[in-house]
Amino acid sequence: MKVVILKNEILNSEERWVQSCINKNISYSVVDLTREKWLEEIQEQKPDLLLAKPSGLTTPFKVLYDERLDILVNQIGIPCFPTLNEIKIYENKKYFSYWLKANNIPHPKTNVFYFEEEAVNFANKQSSFPIVAKTNIGASGSGVVIIENKKELLQYIRGTFQGTGAKKRVGPNLKKGKVINRAFNLMLSPKKIIEKYGVYKARAMDAQRDFVLLQEYISHQYEWRVVRLGDSFFAHKKMLLGNMTSGSLLKDYENPPLELLDFVKKLTDRFNFKSMAVDLFEKSTSEYLVNEMQCIFGQSDGYQMKVDGIIGRYLYLNEKWFFEEGDFNTNESYDLRLESALNYYNVTKG
Ligand SMILES: Nc1ncnc2c1ncn2[C@@H]1O[C@H](COP(=O)(O)OP(=O)(O)O)[C@@H](O)[C@H]1O
Ligand SMILES: [Mg+2]
């Protein structure tokens, strides 16, 4: 079997997939999807399976990754994991909001305006605050602004269409928990410093001036993060720091309600998604709103869930949820992701 890992524009973006192939003893090669000879290089390899690491840093490279992967999957017919549909909704908040609405998936009500005048009309009619504005791309809360009143909203709209683009944070996330730990890591690894400063520069250059995305404010103390990899499920709470849970790295490993697992199983089954982190607001018991869905996601601890202090996963067997103890999140969960990819396409290694 021939596996090709599709790296993106970011330094070392292939390394977790590479490690997973080494751990499973699978021969692989790496192709940089952002380079001019991408198509020739991939065609030469004749891969049976593509392992994707989509880019979510700037719009040009996000568009590049989606377009080229679409050619590989739909025109050439090479299987890819995560699937193209999982990658299209990744780091594209406007597209994702259309997708949620069209599929009747419960989510915070979202409006996207490409015309300033339309956005201003909406703002003038808006009576309930706060309201949330988000840039299309931007992890860890960097593009999310909680707007408290009409004046601020009008300023945000004007700033987007006529000023320097939609407001966002481009530097390090100083609110982020474990900040000392992270600084220490950076000191130890110069490669990481270069990677980081490259990232901030890229983010600063990628201004969003063409549309605004506004969203209903959902009061919350936490978001649930439910992860599905193959048929393994994990869940934990991401706790609020300031007014955002994203990037806080504050986790609460509490036993998840089984209704939550049911909700995410049904959702991911429906679209055949097998590599997905779903972030949800809990409106009331067993009423959930989908905030984000990410097929590739970071992992700040060595595990994704603990039940009664025990690390493990949930499986759905004989129509029942069943907790299995064990360490299933090695290599930032890429080992399990690779196993899921091989099962998904029913390919055997070797
Ligand atoms: N509709 C909303 N209402 C209230 N708070 C929100 C809303 N959407 C996002 N937030 C807060 O902002 C954080 C970042 O938003 P999110 O959409 O998750 O973007 P990202 O994680 O890509 O930066 C969330 O973790 C949440 O705490
Ligand atoms: Mg988030």
Tell me the DSSP string of 152-217.
HHHHHHHHHHHSSSS----S--TT-SSHHHHHHHHHH-HHHHHHHHHHHHHHHH----S-EEEEE-
Q: Are 61 and 7 in contact (CB under 8 A)?
A: no
Which atom of ligand 1 is nearest to 246's Cα?
A: 25
Is 165 a residue whose pLDDT tops 90? no
Q: To test the ligand 1 pocket, which listed residue (131, 218, 224, 244) has its Cβ within 8 A of the most ligand atoms? A: 244
Q: Whose CA is nearest to atom 19 of ligand 1?
A: 141
Cα 290-296-297 angle, rounded to 5 deg:
75
Q: Which CATH architecture has domain 93-171+200-216?
A: 2-Layer Sandwich (3.30)
Question: How far lies 146's CA from each of 49, 167, 338, 349, in Å?
Answer: 42, 11, 38, 48
Task: Name 278's bridge partners.
Answer: 226, 293
* Of the listed ranges 77-86, 168-177, 180-189, the one predicted with least confidence: 180-189
Where are the domains positioned within the chain? 3-81, 93-171+200-216, 172-199, 222-340
Q: Which residue has the tokens 């690779």?
A: 338
Q: Is the CB of 239 under 6 A from ligand 1?
A: no
Lowest mean pLDDT among 192-196, 270-274, 296-300, 326-330: 192-196
Which ligand has the nearest atom to the CA of 146? Answer: 1
Average pLDDT over residues 176-186: 49
Residue 241's pLDDT band (boundaries 50, 70, 90)? confident
Check for a shared fold between 93-171+200-216 and 222-340.
no
Q: Which atom, in ligand 1's list, is nearest to the CA of 141?
A: 23
CATH architecture observed for domain 3-81: 3-Layer(aba) Sandwich (3.40)
**pLDDT tens-digit profile of 259-276?**
999 999 999 999 999 999
Most confident of 213-227, 234-248, 297-311, 335-349: 213-227
For the entire predicted model, the pTM comes to: 0.92
CA of 244 to the centre of ligand 1 (A): 6
Residue 241 beta carbon below 6 angstroms from any ligand 1 atom: no
Q: Beta partners for 28?
A: 3
Q: Report which bound ligand comes closest to the CA of 134.
A: 1
Q: Find how far residue 307's CA is from the centre of its chain.
A: 24
The residues that bridge with 325 in the sheet, in sequence order, are 312
Q: Write down the residue that tokens 């129509």 correspond to.
A: 319
65: number of Cβ within 10 Å: 23
Mean pLDDT across the stretch 27-48? 97
Ligand 1 touching residue 140 (CB < 6 A):
yes
For residue 96, which ligand has an atom nearest its CA? 1
In CATH, which superfamily holds the domain spanning 222-340? Answer: ATP-grasp fold, B domain (3.30.470.20)
